[in-house]
Amino acid sequence: MSLNHLKFEEVNWKKELNDLVDAATPEEKAATEAFAKALGPHLNNPEMLRTLLGKIQASIPGDALAIVVAQKQFGSLDELKFKLPNSVAIVNL
């Protein structure tokens, strides 16, 4: 049996998370509960989860997003959307 290459749908993540909270020592309790509180809603809607990683991405030549966000202040969300190229979408506000 190989233990590798998990598939999301093959694991009961919610149960494992609950087990983690139940098994936490007093020192781990605050962290584990905060973790469960932050992650729990995402596990109910897995489409909200993407990578669980944070990395700086490489720049894109002529990066339109970089040019737009350098402005930093916008009158409205519509103004921001209007300035974005079609290839860039605003996600999950």
Taking the least distance from each CB to other proteins, the nearer of 44 and 58 is 58
Beta carbons within 8 Å of 17's beta carbon, 6+ residues apart = 35, 36, 39, 40, 43
Q: Return the closest-CA partner of residue 17 out of 38, 34, 40, 1.
A: 40
Please give the residue ranges that form the binding site for other proteins (CB under 8 A): 1-8, 10-11, 13, 16-17, 20, 23-25, 28, 30-35, 37-39, 42, 48-60, 63, 65-66, 69-70, 72-77, 80, 84, 87-93
CA neighbor of 52 nearest in space, from 41, 62, 42, 63: 42
Amino acid at 5: H
